Chains A and B, each alone.
Chain A
Amino acid sequence: MLYSVIGYYSLILGLCFGLIIIYFSVKNFQNYQLLDNKILSFTFLQFFFVVISFLCLILSFVLSDFSNETVFNNSHTTKPLFYKIAGTWGNHEGSLLLWLFVLTLFILIFLLRSKKQPTKYKILTLVFQQMIIIGFFVFLIKTSNPFNFLYPTPEEGLGLNPILQDPALAIHPPILYLGYVGTSIIFSSALAATSLNIINKSWASHIKKWVLISWIFLTLGILLGSIWAYYELGWGGFWFWDPVENVSLMPWLALTTLLHCILVLEKKLILTSWVIILSIATFTLSMCGTFLVRSGILNSVHTFANDPERGLFILIFLFCLIFLSLLIFFFFHKNNKNNFTSLFWLSKETSIIVNNWFMMYFLSVVLIGTVYPIFLDVLSSQKISVGPPFYHKLIIPFLIPFLLMMAVGPKLKWIKSNLKDKFYLIILLAISILLSFLIVKNFDTKFLLNTILISSSMYLFFITLRDFFIKIHNNISQNIAHFGFSLLILSILFNNLFSTEIIANLKVGETFQSENTKIVFESINQEKEKNYQSIIGNFSIHNSKGKIENMLPELRIYNQPNIVTSEADIKTTLMSDKFIVINLVQNQDYFNIRYQVKPFMIWIWLSVVLISFGGLMSFIKKEHEK
C-alpha cells in the first residue's frame, strides 16, 4: 500500500524532471555552457526516482501486497522468492517500468561517458532521449499504471503463468531490454548529430560503443529467449518464426548492419546517410516490436495481455517519432557529395556494402512476413498465415552467397597481390565441397541445396578457423564473431538434417522398440512441491550399443493458476542432446511421449555466445586503446 503510493508519485516526479530538462534545454540552448552541470543532476534525479519506483514495485511483489493490482494479477504467496522478484518484469506494467529504468540509466551513463563530446550535441541527444522517456512515462502512467489500487484487498493473488517461472526467462527481459533501449541512444544521438551536421569519423567511433553494447545484449537476449523456448515451450524446436521472435530478430538484423557500417564510417567518410537511416530504423524496429507484441495485433505462442488502447498509444507515439526523425533527416542532413570516391570495387568496403545489401534483404523478408497478414486482413479481409516455410524458402537460397561473401570479403584487400593466399582460398573451398558432399550423400531429399549450403558454411568455417592460426590477425574480434556465425549455421544445418524423433503412446511398464532405440517406460512418481504437483515419468533409453540412459520428464500441475506444463528432460553432451517430453492425453490411460536426439544442440548456443563474445572483444579493445 505504502510502496504503491511512493512508487506512483516517484513516477510522476520522474515525468516532471523530464519536462524540466526539455524546458531548460530549449530555453537556454544558445547559452548552453550554463546547462552542462544542471542537466547532469536533473538526469540523475530522474533516474533516482525511476529506481525508487521500480524498487517499490519489487518490494510490493516480494511482500505480496495484493492491494496493488499488478501484484494481484501476477503473483501468489506460494511462489518462490526468486520468481516473485522476476515476476516484477514478467508482466506488461512491470516490464514497461523496466524499460523506463533502462532508458534513464542509459542516458545517465551516456552523459557521464561522453564528457569530451561537444556540449550542444550532448544536450540535443538528451532532448531527443527525453522525448522518448516522456512518451514512456505518459504511456505507463496513463494506460498501464503498475501501482493501481485494489479495494477491498484480495486475500490471494492470481499467480504467475507457470511457463514464465523459469530462470532463463527471468533474466531474458532485462537483457533484451538493455539491447532494445541501447538502440534508443543510437537513435537520439544520430538525430542530434544530424541536426548539428557532425556525422563524421569521430562521431562514428563515439557511437560505436553504444552500437556494440546494444548489439551484444540483443544477441544474448535473443539467445536466452531461444533457450527458454527450447526446453520450456518447444518440443525440441528453438526458433519458430513466431511474430514475437521475428520482432526481436528485426532490430538485431538492422543493428548488425549498422555495426558494420559504423566500422566503415570510422575509417572512411562514406555511407553517412545510410548510417543515419539505419540508426533510425533500428530503434523504430524495436519500438515497432513493442507495438506488435503489446497491442496483440498478431497472435503468437507468447501470449501477452492485450489491450487496444495501449496499442493505439504506442502506435501514435511510434509514428510521431518516425515523423520527427524523417523531418530532421530531410531538413538537416546534407549529403556529402564525395561518396564512394575512394572506393575500389574489390575492397573490404565493397564487401561490407554487399553484406548490408543481403542483411537488408533478410530484414525485409522477416518484416514483410510478419506484418503482411495484418495488411491483407485490413485491405481484403482475407486471413492467411505466414510460417516457417515462407522464411526458409526466401532466406536459405540467399544465405549461400552471403556466407561466401562473409568468408572472402574481409580478405578482398590483399586478394590481388598475394598468390599463396589465393591458393589457400581455393583449396579450402574444394575441401568444404568435398566434405559436405560426403555428408549429404546419404540423403535423398534436397541433395543439391544441402550440399551447397553446407559447403558454403564450411568454407566460412575453415577460413575463419585458419585465420586464428596465421599471423597476428589485426581483427581478432571480427574473426571470432564470423567464426561463431559459421559455427551457428553449421550446427543449425546439422541439427535439422540429423535429428531423429520417436513419437509413441506408452503406458507404464510398456516398451517401445524401433530399429536402434528401445524406450522403456519404467515407472511413474508423484511429488508435491510448494506451488505445483509433479508427475515424473521414469524412462530408460537403450541404444543399439546397449547403453542405458535414465530420463525423467515431468508434468507439472500448477495450483495457481491451474495450468499443466510439461518439463522436458534433456541430457546434453558435446555431440548431441537427448530430449524427452511427456504429455497427458485426454481420457486415456497412456501418455504421449516424444523422444528426440538432436545433434550439435549445444553448439548452437555456444556459437551465439561466441558471436557476442566477438562483439565484447571489440568493445574491450576499443576501451583499451583509449
Chain B
Amino acid sequence: MKILKLFLIIFFIFSFNHLKANNEIIKNKITKNLRCLICQGQSVYDSDSEFANSLKVLVDKKLNEGFSEKQIYSYFKDKYGEWILYDPKFNKNTYILWLLPILIFLIGGAIISKSFIIKKK
C-alpha cells in the first residue's frame, strides 16, 4: 500500500513537464519582486492595474534588450525609489531588519544552552 502510494507520487511528479521559456521565469521572478504603486499591497505580478501591466511589458522589453535582473532592479529603483523592491537590499537601512531575527535566534540558543549547563553543575 505504502509502496503503491510512493510509486504514484513519483510517477505523478515526473509527468510534469518543467521546461519553460527561461525569459518567462525570470520575468515572473522580477515582477513578483516589484511592488505596484497603484494597488500598494500587491506585487506587479499579482496586480492588474494599468501601471502594473505596462511594467510587465517594460520588464519584457528590458530583458530582450539584454538587461540583467540586477540592472532591471536598479533601473526601477532609480525611477521609483527603494520602496518598489520587495526584497530589501542589505545596507545601512536594513542591517537591523536582516540581523535582528538572527540575533534573536542566537540569544534564544544561548539562553537554552545556559540553562542546561547550570543544570549539569
Binding site for B on A (CB under 8 A): 234-235, 237, 240, 242-243, 299-303, 339-341, 343, 345, 353-354, 357, 360-361, 364-365, 368-369, 372, 376, 380, 382-390, 394, 398, 435, 438-439, 442-443, 465, 494, 498, 500-501, 515-516, 566, 575, 583, 585-586, 592, 599
Contact = CB atoms under 8 A, between A and B. Distances in A.
Given A234-B46, A383-B81, A387-B86, A302 B97 contact: no
B18 A354 contact: no
Interface in B80-103: 81-88, 93-94, 96-98, 100-102
A515 B19 contact: yes
Contact of A340 (B48, B98, B108, B118): B118
Contact of B116 (A345, A394, A516, A586): A345
Given A299-B40, A498-B16, A357 B100 contact: no
Return the 6 tightest CB-CB contacts between A and B, nearest first: A387-B86, A389-B87, A301-B41, A300-B41, A361-B105, A364-B104
Contact of A390 (B10, B46, B88, B104): B88
Interface in B25-54: 28, 32-33, 35, 39-43, 45-46, 48, 50, 53
Given A237-B46, A361-B101, A498-B13, A382 B35 contact: no
Nearest to A383: B83
Nearest to B83: A383
Given A361-B104, A500-B16, A384 B48 contact: no
B4 interface: no
A439 B13 contact: yes
Contacts of A389: 33, 86-87
A258 to B, nearest CB: 16
Contact of A575 (B12, B82, B100): B12
A385 B42 contact: no
B72 to A, nearest CB: 15
A439 B109 CA distance: 34
Interface of B: 2, 6, 10, 12-13, 16-20, 28, 32-33, 35, 39-43, 45-46, 48, 50, 53, 81-88, 93-94, 96-98, 100-102, 104-105, 108-109, 112, 115-116, 118-119
B87 A372 contact: no
A581 to B, nearest CB: 9
A585 B20 CA distance: 25
A296 B116 CA distance: 44
A199 B82 CA distance: 49
A240 B47 CA distance: 12
A388 B19 CA distance: 25
A253 to B, nearest CB: 13
Given A301-B42, A339-B115, A500-B20, A382 B93 contact: yes
B119 A343 contact: yes
Contact of B96 (A300, A341, A365, A372): A372
Main SS of chain B's interface residues?
Answer: helix
Task: Name, among A368, A372, A385, the residue most crowded by chain B CB atoms within 10 Å (CB to CB).
Answer: A385
A269 B53 CA distance: 59
Contacts of A302: 41
Nearest to B6: A435
A498 B15 CA distance: 10
Contacts of B87: 387, 389-390
A575 B12 CA distance: 8
Contacts of A354: 112
A357 B108 contact: yes
Given A372-B96, A384-B94, A438 B10 contact: yes
A149 B65 CA distance: 61
Contacts of A361: 101, 104-105, 108
22 contacts: A242-B41, A243-B41, A302-B41, A303-B41, A340-B115, A353-B112, A354-B112, A357-B105, A357-B108, A364-B104, A365-B101, A372-B94, A384-B85, A384-B94, A385-B35, A385-B82, A387-B86, A388-B86, A389-B86, A438-B10, A498-B18, A500-B18
Contacts of A235: 45-46
B64 to A, nearest CB: 16
A498 B98 CA distance: 29
B18 A501 contact: no
A186 to B, nearest CB: 22
A599 B16 contact: yes
Contacts of A357: 105, 108-109, 112
B93 A387 contact: no
A435 B10 contact: yes
A383 B88 CA distance: 11
